[in-house]
Structure 1
Amino acid sequence: MELPVVAGVDGSEGSLRALDWAVPEAARRGLPLRIVHASVWEHYEGVRSGLPADRPSEQVYAESLVAMSQERARSLSPEVKVTTDIRPEEPVTALLSEAEDAALLVLGSRGRGPVAGMLLGSVSLSVAARARCPVVVVRGRGPDTQQPPRPGHGRVVLGVGDNAASGAAARFAFREARSRGCALVAVRAWHGPHHLVVPHSPSGDEQLTICQRQADEYMDNALSTVGEDLTKVTVRRKAVRGTAHQTLLETADPADLLVVGARRRHGAFGLQLGGVNHAMLHYAPCPVAIVPERE
């Protein structure tokens, strides 16, 4: 059974941009696309039978939205098999359930609710922090939703964290770069520590050399988990002295996708997103993929 690419829609401009991103992604992967709208109309207005005019307004809206979204997806890529579903649940609950059987979950960065003006909607943040499959939050200065997509920037950026959270992210980023025919840029930021545990006390220059070498080792270790021929993709390594969030933001502008990994919390349902991943979800100039490391 092929797991689908799932796109969550709520009618906002952000969710339409997410849908437009999800359609070619499904086409590149050769996977079906599942469009999901989470509606709570049953809980508030009940299910009533009869003529269409008797139906709750939220039900009418939901049906119109998924029909329009399905038509939009088919017009973008007729070869992709598209299905839709309206789930009478809260959005976070519905989308987390969808993530259990999805290859990828794609969301907009902001919804149509009262907090739509926030940098990142609460639904997108909650789902990205708890989903069991990779989640892409479509951010950045995208084109108008009525215009055809712009050409890609030609690179996927991988943020290399510690070894425990970088393996799955590296594999995901490599496959994305290969399917797009673009370069993969692996990035690791570093800064000189106050002290290093070494047999002798190194000089300042030696400290910087050691930190640089450690950053290179982190990138090598992450890329070694890909398990495929790295020569199939142009891979560039970028070890930069500085803060992780600033380095990633600068490298991802411009990029087609920024990929970061996240570890699962011990004994809890959720991911350790950390400050860097939170910053990427709120401020990145391009779509961001949060890739959970498998237990």
Structure 2
Amino acid sequence: MTIPLVVGVDGSEASLEAVDWAAAEAVRHGVPLHLLHAVAGDREASDVIGAASERAAKTAPTARLSSEVLHEEAASALVVRGRNAFALVLGSRGLGDLAGMLLGSVGLAVAAHADCPVVVVRGGVEHRAGRYGNIVVGVEDGEGSGTAVEFAFREAHVRRCRLVAVHAWSVPVGNPGPPGLSGYALQALRRPPAQVLAEALRESAERYQDVPVSSEVVEGPARAALLDAAAGADLLVVGARRRHGHLGLQLGLVNHAVLHHAPCPIAVVPQI
């Protein structure tokens, strides 16, 4: 049995935009779409799930659609469903979140604890509708980006679009190195940034040879580099490392920043 793409709905416009995005995504990947409405109180759950189902059927008539209502806390319900999901898809803010919040509390909690990729649907219609033909993936040194890179290549493959791989680096604070060396030369003494990026992409690039790839090595903060690249992207993909001793808490400072400020949908992909 094919595991479903699960989208959380709460009746807000942001969650209906997430339904649109998820319906198209389910068709692209040939997976079922499951709508989940979790509510702790007695709001009109049938109206919420009915409106979301109607929206999904209109957006993607060929999608295999199912739905359920759970009377429990939304973030916990979604995290549990995520243990057997292709991905979890959420709107950027729900009905219960304060108007000034850049990302809803449910979305932040789910992204921090889920075992599967979590997509927060952000940005205007041009970003949500895939009009740019680019997917951006952030690549860091070490093993934290491996699953994210694979996810990004697969997305670019099914969308038949370009992949932009971004690796940001900076000279460690308090480590000036030998006199006369530039920042890049100093970093290259440890491990050249271009090599870090090439090695991270190699395995997936061999598997998805039809995907055109652009590599960008940027000196500076990863947050700024990713947000700049995402301005012309349909999807931003970042990895999430497992935090040893803190089960499920996997959002670092860069992930927090892009979840709150990305101009396009963003996928947070836990390291396997």
Q: TM-score, normalization: structure 1?
A: 0.86
Q: Secondary structure at the match of 2:209?
A: helix
The equivalent position to 2:175 in structure 1, one of 183, 188, 195, is 195
Residue 204 in structure 1 maps to residue 181 in structure 2: yes
User: Is 1:170–1:225's contact at 8 Å kept on the other side of the alignment?
Assistant: no
Q: How many residue pairs end up in the alignment? A: 268
Residue 171 in structure 1 maps to residue 154 in structure 2: no
Match of 2:133 in 1: 154
Match of 2:220 in 1: 242
The equivalent position to 2:78 in structure 1, one of 90, 95, 107, is 95
How big is each residue's C-alpha offset from its partner over 1:114-142, in whole Å with a ceiling of 9 and x where there is no partner? 52431011110000000000000011123
CA positional deviation for 1:108: 0.6
The letter of the residue matching 1:195 is: N
Question: What is the rounded CA distance, in whole Å, between the counterparts of 1:274 and 1:114 in structure 2?
Answer: 22
Match of 2:234 in 1: 256
CA positional deviation for 1:170: 0.3
The equivalent position to 2:256 in structure 1, one of 274, 278, 288, is 278
The equivalent position to 1:229 in structure 2, one of 199, 202, 207, is 207
Match of 1:48 in 2: none
CA positional deviation for 1:209: 3.2
CA positional deviation for 1:228: 4.0
CA positional deviation for 1:76: 1.0
Question: What is the rounded CA distance, in whole Å, between the counterparts of 1:114 and 1:273 in structure 2?
Answer: 20
Q: Cα gap change, 1:100/1:106 in structure 2, threshold over 3 Å: closer, same or farther?
A: same
Match of 1:140 in 2: 123
Match of 2:270 in 1: 292
User: Is 2:102–2:261's contact at 8 Å kept on the other side of the alignment?
Assistant: yes
CA positional deviation for 1:254: 1.7
Residue 119 in structure 1 maps to residue 102 in structure 2: yes
Of all paired residues, the percent bearing the same amino acid is 48
How big is each residue's C-alpha offset from its partner over 1:198-233, in whole Å with a ceiling of 9 and x where there is no partner? xxx36323x423536622122122212427434310
Match of 1:51 in 2: none
How big is each residue's C-alpha offset from its partner over 1:168-195, in whole Å with a ceiling of 9 and x where there is no partner? 0000000001111110000011223453
The equivalent position to 2:54 in structure 1, one of 71, 79, 100, is 71
The letter of the residue matching 2:250 is: Q
Question: What is the rounded CA distance, in whole Å, between the counterparts of 2:130 and 2:114 in structure 1?
Answer: 30
The letter of the residue matching 1:104 is: A
Match of 1:16 in 2: 16
Question: What is the rounded CA distance, in whole Å, between the counterparts of 1:81 and 1:137 in structure 2?
Answer: 22
User: Is 1:183–1:235's contact at 8 Å kept on the other side of the alignment?
Assistant: yes
Question: What is the rounded CA distance, in whole Å, between the counterparts of 2:241 and 2:130 in structure 1?
Answer: 33
Q: Cα gap change, 1:210/1:179 in structure 2, threshold over 3 Å: closer, same or farther?
A: farther
Q: Cα gap change, 1:91/1:180 in structure 2, threshold over 3 Å: closer, same or farther?
A: same
Question: What is the rounded CA distance, in whole Å, between the counterparts of 2:130 and 2:141 in structure 1?
Answer: 33
Q: Cα gap change, 1:180/1:162 in structure 2, threshold over 3 Å: closer, same or farther?
A: same
Residue 182 in structure 1 maps to residue 161 in structure 2: yes
Q: Cα gap change, 1:259/1:34 in structure 2, threshold over 3 Å: closer, same or farther?
A: same
* Alpha-carbon RMSD: 1.8
User: Is 2:162–2:214's contact at 8 Å kept on the other side of the alignment?
Assistant: yes
Q: TM-score, normalization: structure 2?
A: 0.93
Q: Secondary structure at the match of 1:164?
A: coil
The letter of the residue matching 1:219 is: L
User: Is 2:242–2:248's contact at 8 Å kept on the other side of the alignment?
Assistant: yes
User: Is 1:167–1:225's contact at 8 Å kept on the other side of the alignment?
Assistant: no
CA positional deviation for 1:242: 1.4
The equivalent position to 1:108 in structure 2, one of 77, 91, 98, is 91
User: Is 1:263–1:293's contact at 8 Å kept on the other side of the alignment?
Assistant: yes
Question: What is the rounded CA distance, in whole Å, between the counterparts of 2:84 and 2:193 in structure 1?
Answer: 35
Question: What is the rounded CA distance, in whole Å, between the counterparts of 2:93 and 2:214 in structure 1?
Answer: 32
User: Is 1:163–1:221's contact at 8 Å kept on the other side of the alignment?
Assistant: no
Single out whichever of 29-38 and 263-272 deviates more from structure 2: 263-272
Question: What is the rounded CA distance, in whole Å, between the counterparts of 2:205 and 2:161 in structure 1?
Answer: 18
Q: Cα gap change, 1:108/1:181 in structure 2, threshold over 3 Å: closer, same or farther?
A: same
The letter of the residue matching 2:34 is: R
User: Is 1:158–1:186's contact at 8 Å kept on the other side of the alignment?
Assistant: yes
